[in-house]
């Protein structure tokens, strides 16, 4: 954890840029959600309501919640998921963590790592690239393993990743399968059929399937195609309030079997006593009424889908059509994933050149979670966020196009 990591570099760049430490930096790298006007107004309104309700503000700030989370919030969320999706769950199937990142630290080390028999069990990622924050989560070496994707070329500089089921092998050293949906970094959305097949593979191997739903359905709903939310007793689902516009409340949600949830509660108690109550208090009435689903569907999703389309238009305008570049089809999340096939400089060198010109992106090799150290594909890719100010995104893409053109010409 102290040896340096992609997520540390990313968050250092993100925090410094947003704090103004780097001057007028065009922040196209991090996963900070946009300040959606309707959602920002809603959080201000909710804070006003909490201040006006007798005792509510004091309870939110001055009382510890139980280690699994606020009882009223857990009951409301369980009721919502039962009512809307027919999931057979109760509050005993839910736990709050200090953000999704913490949830995965708990889950990975609960399920995998060094066992009493001296063997290291692993987390298997059926589709790489995957989320940068997974890479350094294991407390034992060699805890991550991944499968490289099938690549479908769609024409007009677009492509898409698919799970290569022919190469997906779940050995007896695998403790769980894990995917993000939409996938961070590529914006890929695994189809319902792919998820069903992965669940069958996991069940046949006697291991859980973990689905990271930080951007997905039912909330925050940043998915640009129709998919069905899924959960069963073999699935561990994680949700988050961050991409609704509440990243600093650090509110992650785990949906799982009661024994897994009990373990998460125990880990919460040991590591942090209890979780922050602010996010749960802010969204409670939205969960009780189901309004959180409408907001995700009618406010959050359209906002990001429009920004994604704009960013893709600016890329098409800025990049030389003769270059061998490819953009992953944008199916959700806050990012575009660009592949510069055959570029003569690495994505790391491109990152350094762009940073000098006031543009931050994330080089793709950081997303090769569990991939071999010489994973060439990752060194030709970058992740670009379109969540920030549109002027900054458009200027950043124009500068990116200039540096990529130079990268293809480099000796």
Confidence of residue 299 (pLDDT cuts 50, 70, 90): very high
pTM recorded for the entire structure: 0.93
pLDDT digits (tens, 9 = 90+) for 166-195: 999 999 999 999 999 999 999 999 999 999
Secondary-structure breakdown of the chain: helix, strand, coil percentages, each rounded to the nearest 5? 45, 15, 40
CA-based nearest residue to 171, from 210, 145, 197, 141: 145
What length is written for the chain? 411
Give Cβ neighbours of residue 381 (< 8 Å, ≥ 6 apart): 129, 337, 338, 339, 340, 347, 363, 364, 367
CA-based nearest residue to 6, from 369, 345, 343: 369
Q: Phi and psi at residue 360, in whole multiples of 5°?
A: -110, 125
Residues of 216-239 as b/e, b for ≥16 C-beta within 10 angstroms? bbbbbbbbbeebebbbeeebbbbb
pLDDT digits (tens, 9 = 90+) for 24-54: 789 998 788 999 999 999 999 999 999 999 9
CA atoms within 13 A on the CB side of 374: 0
Q: How far is CA 166 from CA 170, 207, 354, in A?
A: 12, 19, 38
In the chain, domain spans: 6-39+295-406, 65-291
Judge whether 193 and 230 are in contact, CB under 8 Å.
Answer: no
pLDDT at 129 over 80: yes
Query: CA 109 to CA 155: how far, in whole Å?
Result: 41
Task: Tell me the Ramachandran region of residue 140: left when phi exceeds 0, alpha when psi lies from -120 to 50, beta otherwise.
Answer: beta
The CATH-assigned architecture of domain 6-39+295-406 is: Alpha-Beta Complex (3.90)
| CATH code, 65-291 | 3.40.640.10
pLDDT digits (tens, 9 = 90+) for 221-257: 999 998 989 999 999 999 999 999 999 999 999 999 9
Give Cβ neighbours of residue 272 (< 8 Å, ≥ 6 apart): 98
């Amino acid at each position: 954890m102290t040896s340096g990591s992609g997520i540390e570099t990313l968050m250092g760049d993100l925090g410094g840029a947003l704090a103004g430490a780097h001057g007028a930096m065009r922040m196209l790298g991090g996963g900070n959600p946009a300040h959606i006007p309707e959602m920002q107004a809603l959080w201000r309104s909710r804070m006003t309501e909490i201040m006006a309700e007798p005792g509510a503000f004091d309870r939110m700030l001055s009382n510890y919640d139980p280690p699994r989370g606020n009882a009223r919030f857990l009951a409301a969320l369980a009721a919502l998921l039962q009512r809307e999706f027919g999931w057979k769950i109760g509050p005993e199937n839910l736990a709050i963590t200090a953000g999704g990142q913490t949830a995965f630290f708990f889950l990975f080390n609960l399920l995998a790592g060094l066992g009493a028999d001296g063997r290291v069990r692993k987390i298997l990622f059926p589709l790489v690239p995957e989320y940068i924050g997974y890479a350094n989560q294991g407390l034992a070496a060699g805890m991550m393993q991944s499968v490289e994707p099938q690549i479908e070329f769609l024409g007009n500089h677009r492509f898409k990743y698919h799970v290569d089921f022919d190469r997906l092998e779940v050995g007896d050293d695998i403790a769980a399968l894990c995917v993000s949906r939409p996938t961070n970094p590529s914006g890929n959305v695994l189809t319902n059929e792919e998820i069903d097949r992965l669940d069958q593979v996991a069940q046949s191997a006697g291991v859980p399937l973990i689905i990271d739903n930080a951007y997905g359905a039912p909330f925050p709903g940043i998915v640009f195609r129709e998919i069905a939310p899924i959960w069963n007793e073999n699935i561990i689902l994680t949700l988050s309030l961050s991409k609704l516009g509440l990243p600093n409340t650090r509110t992650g949600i785990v949906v799982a079997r009661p024994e897994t949830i009990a373990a998460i509660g125990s880990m919460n108690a040991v590591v942090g006593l209890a979780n922050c109550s602010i996010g749960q208090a802010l969204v409670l009435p939205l969960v009780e009424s189901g309004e959180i689903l409408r907001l995700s569907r009618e406010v959050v999703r359209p906002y990001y889908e429009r920004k994604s389309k704009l960013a893709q238009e600016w890329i098409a305008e800025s990049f030389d059509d003769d270059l061998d570049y490819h953009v992953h089809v944008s199916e959700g999340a806050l990012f575009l994933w660009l592949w510069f096939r055959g570029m003569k400089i690495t994505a790391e060198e491109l990152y350094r050149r762009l940073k000098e010109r006031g543009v931050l992106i994330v080089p793709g090799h950081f997303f090769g979670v569990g991939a071999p150290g010489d994973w060439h594909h990752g060194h030709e890719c970058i992740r670009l966020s379109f969540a920030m100010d549109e002027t900054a995104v458009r200027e950043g893409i124009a500068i990116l196009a200039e540096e990529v053109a130079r990268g293809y010409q480099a000796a």
